Amino acid sequence: MGQPTIHKKHNFDEGEPLAPWREKIHEVIFEADTGWGKAFDVFLIISIFASVIAVMLDSVASISAEYRLPLWIAEWTFTVLFTIEYILRLICVRKPMLYARSFYGIVDLLSVLPTYLALFLVDAKYFLVIRILRVLRVFRIFKLASYIGEASMMMKALRNSHAKISVFLYTVVLLVVIFGSLIYVIEGAENGFTSIPTSIYWAIVTLTTVGYGDISPQSPLGQFLASCIMIMGYGLIAVPTGIYSAEITRQAIKEHKEKEITNNACPSCSYEGHDADAVHCKKCGAEL
């Protein structure tokens, strides 16, 4: 989500200017300030959603049977369009390889490949839904600055909690491996716990409070162990929540403080900690 800035950088790299026609294409495709640029972006977003919906409908047996041709046409139309767009993007940027290896470059490529692959491997076409990631551009295009700000703040909080979350995930993995093996020994294959991997799957289903019920313990001891896992999972959820809440609160307070309090000391009494809008020292009355 913080990626919009990544490939923007290389567009404004120092260097020889682009040929005028490449610059024109660049303006239309990469920017949203001009009329054509905006029109292109709106058309792009509609195409993306339409193509994702077409892929979804294609997977519904009854619809696929009845509308085979129109769906086939839609798929190839969108793919050809996106392929042309991808090539244009490669042409009009100064450093094509940098774009090709950026987050959006990869997503743009993955958005057309499956159709071609599907000529050989029929299931591949469903990966076209990856096109939905292209919509992330919408945040940049419509200058939804506040959304980008919030998103990057949320990502920052996640990154800051990174070590804590790793410890938490590792603990969860340890717990499900041990509990999964225990329940396998207790319940055994005759109650659906056919192997340790399956039992670990069940332990994850239980600890995360999902609870499909496709496998469930039958013996009293198994049900007792399951109860322990459930209560543990019910309580453990407090850990990531606590970590993230504390981190967000900490960040909000930090930002708040930075905004509110100036670091200027009073020139006559040296008192610090004045509000940002203070003109006179609140202790001695001297002008700041």
DSSP class of 287? B
Write down the least CB distance from residue 250 to a second copy, Å: 6
d(CA 94, CA 109): 18
Write down the least CB distance from residue 86 to a second copy, Å: 20
Write down the least CB distance from residue 93 to a second copy, Å: 25
Identify the sign of the CA torsion 248, 251, 253, 259: negative
Nearer to a second copy, 6 or 136 (CB): 136
From residue 36, alpha-carbon distances to 25, 92, 142 in Å are: 10, 16, 14
Write down the least CB distance from residue 45 to a second copy, Å: 13
Nearer to a second copy, 34 or 249 (CB): 249
Nearer to a second copy, 23 or 260 (CB): 260
Q: What angle, 0 to 180 degrees and rounded to 10, lies between the N-to-C axes of helices 145-160 and 162-187? A: 60
Nearer to a second copy, 34 or 245 (CB): 245
Write down the least CB distance from residue 77 to a second copy, Å: 19
d(CA 161, CA 141): 30
Nearer to a second copy, 81 or 153 (CB): 153
Nearer to a second copy, 25 or 243 (CB): 243
Write down the least CB distance from residue 156 to a second copy, Å: 12
Nearer to a second copy, 88 or 261 (CB): 261
Nearer to a second copy, 70 or 197 (CB): 197
Q: What residue ranges in the chain does DSSP mark as E strands? A: none
Q: Which residue has the tokens 């109650």?
A: 191
Write down the least CB distance from residue 234 to a second copy, Å: 4
Output the six-digit token pair for 39: 């029109």
- The burial class, CB within 10 Å (0-12 / 13-18 / 19+), for 122 is exposed
For residues 172-182, b (16+ Cβ closer than 10 Å) or e, as one string? beebbbebbeb
CA-CA-CA-CA dihedral for 253, 258, 261, 262, to nearest 10: 170
Write down the least CB distance from residue 127 to a second copy, Å: 7
Output the six-digit token pair for 201: 């799957």
Do the beta carbons of residue 184 and residue 195 sit within 8 Å? Answer: yes
* Angle 137-150-45 from CA coordinates, rounded to 5°: 20
